[in-house]
Structure 1
Amino acid sequence: MRSLRTVSVVGCHAEGEVGDVIVGGVLDAPGCKSMYEKMMYFWNTKDSLRKLLLNEPRGRSSMNTNLVLPPCNPQADAGFLIMESDEYAPMSGSNTICTATVLLETGMIPMQEPITQFNLDTAAGLVAVTAECEGGKCKSVAFDNVPSFVFVLDMPIQVPGFGVVSVDIAWGGMMYVLVDAGSCNLRIENSRGPELIELGERIKRAVQAQYTPVHPENPGIRGVSILAWTHPLIQDDGSDGKTAVNAVVVSPGRFDRSPCGTGTCARMAVLHARGQLQVGQTFRHKSIIGTEFVNHIRGTTKVGQYDAILPTVRGRGWITSFKEIVLDPTDPFPEGFRVGDQWHIPKPDSKG
């Protein structure tokens, strides 16, 4: 069979969110001194790879793909880049869990039972991984994420055709807008999915037009790109832990199927800033399909002028397939395509 290129991929999901992992067929980015530089190299010069894998007919709207590369940080055992439908994410919790699971279960990083510890280099910084392993299976992955912090609480945002919405904006490895679903007369449930997606994208675009957060340690990371709908905290029975539900709207307009790791870290930063979640307290974050990450704040620090938390997130990943992605030279869609029945096409704000 003829193919312009062949890419080796291990299929994986973490608590429902697809995060396939490229393990062969892609060369490293030349001359880069950080994973952030590698991310920008692929985004600016090799973005056809992301489009080939994530657009139809090879991909779909509700999936991500991770690219394993040599690390830049000498403390890391491997590096990886995170490709989403509309962007490269500096960091992602579900994708970290998928990548760690694949690295261990394919033997790219030696598995040690009952605990394997290693470091991953990401565009957001170094991430420490602790994997629970048994019988050759990676049973769970906990990762110590980069410091997370709040830019602003309770910011009023004028949303065209809707009105004023109060939002929190925080960094958890990506720039998040967090909105209480009840404040917009919505509930996080699949029956309200179209409304949550449509309004979530409109709120995000309104924030982008009115406020631009900039990471104090990397000014290249700027502007919100993702939104989390939230429900209030619930006290866990018989413990001091707390539980909450969220639904993260990923561009171009679909739900994260997992509880969203970086969104969880951003939310923990908000909860800690409000005095609602303390260091060491267990926080269970649930997704729209009922899966959960189990999390805690392990300490505090400063990032630039911002008070920050040190978050840890734990979840599970499962390998689903081993596949070779190919591109026939006569294929009329070398970068794939999108169709409005599956890919969210936003309505003009002026039409409400």
Structure 2
Amino acid sequence: MNIQKMYTAVDVHVNGEAFRVIKDVPCKYYYNLEQLNEQFLSELVEEMQLLLNEPRGFIGLNGCIVVPSIHKEVDAAVLFFNHEGSIPLHYGGIVAVITMLLESGYLKKRETNHYKIETLSGIFSVHAYVENDEVVSVSFESKLCYMIEGNLQVGNISYSLIQADKVYAVVEKGASSPEIHIENISELKKWGESTLQAIQKQSLIKRLILVDSSQKGKNHIKSITFHEDNFIVRSPGFVSTIVSYVHALFKNDYIADKPFINESIFNSFITVEKVKKEETGYIFRFESRGFITGMQTFLLDPTDPFPTGFLLK
């Protein structure tokens, strides 16, 4: 066994999403985060698979590699990845990383409660509030999210295309779609797969959001997000929430100047507020909280019969 290939990770749960935060990666010189990301993608493929795949991980797990930033004013830099590869940005990952850094003592609490985290999508100003050595609230602003086109039609399906980290199709729940309840999970999965395939025949998308707006008078929706690989996001989702908010703004289905609530199929919630309207779209503010669920040490054993792990879908 090669003990040199040993990694310690902290697992953090944020609004129904799981993150594995790794800090003890091999030291690398880098002149920007993009160049470091390319190095890691070519040199740490086995390690990334080891940390995310089963039996140590699962299909819904996200990875966060934390390194020192080259900018003096920035507290930490982070690279996000999942089973598909590198992710330029994960809002829940920012919550996970700042929670881990503060609660593990890597960052000292400041009176201002203000910290800066660098990602491939830019530097984020984060407010994190600590009480009794626990991070009880994390807030920051999103990147721009905007409507590409609304009122599109394929067959009997009406949908909108919205740009966030990628292009999402948003469909309002109608008579042909199942209720967003856990007992309907199999039916929802079949509906999501067929609807996504139908929309992909005329629009280049990899994500589909089904929205139940029956409580729109309370600025409250329920949603479920489907991925191209048939994976269902069971959390409300930070991006899914702001995409759904832009869809609601387009339809005027909202109450101005009030928080917007997105509920998941498991009845967990994310609340966002509209910060400002830009020329092409909107910027939102998130407020959330992360919970450290464990600290684990993993070994990459060259004699392991499943060196890259496996995934159960």
Q: Give the TM-score normalised by the residue count of structure 2.
A: 0.88
Quote how far apart the aligned CAs of 1:192 are: 1.6
Cross-structure match for 1:267: 244
What's 1:311 paired with?
284
Rounded to whole Å, the distance in 1 between the matches of 2:16 and 2:149 is 30
Contact 1:188 1:288 in 2 (8 A): yes
Using the aligned pairs only, state the percent identity.
Answer: 23
- Counterpart of 2:25 in structure 1 is 25
Question: Counterpart in 2 of 1:192?
Answer: 184
Q: Which moved more, 1:177-186 or 1:291-300?
A: 177-186
Q: Note if contact 1:72-1:121 (Cα within 8 Å) is conserved in structure 2.
A: no
1:288 aligns with 2:269: no
Contact preservation (8 Å) 1:8, 1:25:
no
Post-superposition shift, 1:183? 5.5
* Cα distance change on mapping 1:196 and 1:259 into 2, 3 Å: same
List per-residue Cα deviations over 1:79-132 (Å, max 9, x = no partner).
21222222433222222221221121112222236x622122222233222122
Is 1:55–2:53 an aligned residue pair?
yes
Structure-2 separation of matches of 1:326 and 1:202? 40
Change in Cα spacing, 1:60 to 1:251, as seen in structure 2 (3 Å) is farther
Instruction: Select which of 295, 302, 311 maps to 1:329.
Output: 302
Q: Distance in 2 between matches of 1:103 and 1:55?
A: 24
Structure 2 partner of 1:178: 170
Once the 2 structures are TM-superposed, how far is the Cα of residue 13 of structure 1 from its aligned partner? 0.4
1:86 and 1:251 in contact (8 A); partners too: no
Question: Does the C-alpha gap of structure 1 residues 314 and 196 become closer, same or farther in structure 2, counting only changes over 3 Å?
Answer: same
SS of the residue corresponding to residue 113 of structure 2 reads strand
Alignment of 1:1-352 (within 5 A): 2-3=2-3, 5-28=5-28, 31=30, 33-35=32-34, 38-43=36-41, 46-71=44-69, 76-112=74-110, 116-157=113-154, 163-182=155-174, 184-212=176-204, 224-232=205-213, 234-235=215-216, 242-250=219-227, 252-277=229-254, 280-302=257-279, 307-338=280-311, 342-343=312-313
Change (3 A) 1:80 1:208: farther
Let me know the Cα RMSD of the aligned residues. 2.6
1:182 partner SS: coil
Shift of 1:321: 0.5
Distance in 2 (CA, whole Å) between partners of 1:153 and 1:73 is: 40
Supply the distance in 2 between the matched residues of 1:155 and 1:40 (Cα, whole angstroms): 37
Conservation of the 8 A alpha-carbon contact between 1:104 and 1:138: yes
C-alpha displacement of 1:139: 0.8
Secondary structure of the residue that 1:12 maps to in structure 2?
strand
Q: Which amino acid aligns with 1:3?
A: I
Q: Which amino acid aligns with 2:288?
A: G
Shift of 1:272: 2.1
- For structure 1, the 5+ residue unaligned runs are 158-162, 213-223, 344-352
Q: Please give the alpha-carbon distance, in whole angstroms, between the structure 2 residues aligned to 1:288 and 1:72.
A: 41
**In the TM superposition, what is the alpha-carbon distance from 1:268 to its structure 2 partner?**
1.8
CA gap 1:208/1:103 in 2 versus in 1, 3 angstroms: farther
Whole-angstrom CA distance in 2 between matches of 1:126 and 1:85: 24
Give the aligned residue type for 1:85. H
Q: Which amino acid aligns with 2:5?
A: R
CA pair 235-155 structure 1, distance change in 2 beyond 3 A:
closer
TM-score, normalization by structure 1: 0.79
Query: Do the aligned residues in 2 keep the contact of 1:126 with 1:146 (CA within 8 Å)?
Result: no
Secondary structure of the 2:180 match is coil
Residues 95 and 310 (structure 1), Cα distance of their counterparts in 2 relative to 1, 3 Å cut: same
Q: Aligned letter for 2:209?
A: A
Instruction: Give the superposition deviation at 1:254.
Output: 3.0
**Number of residue pairs matched by the alignment:** 313
Residues 208-249 of structure 1, C-alpha deviations (whole Å, 9 max, x = no match): 45323xxxxxxxxxxx3332221105256xxxx511111223
Contact 1:144 1:312 in 2 (8 A): yes
**How far does the alpha carbon of each residue in 1:29-65 deviate from its partner, in whole angstroms, 9 at most, with x for none?**
x545344x54455445543333222111111112212
- Alignment gaps of 5+ in structure 2: none
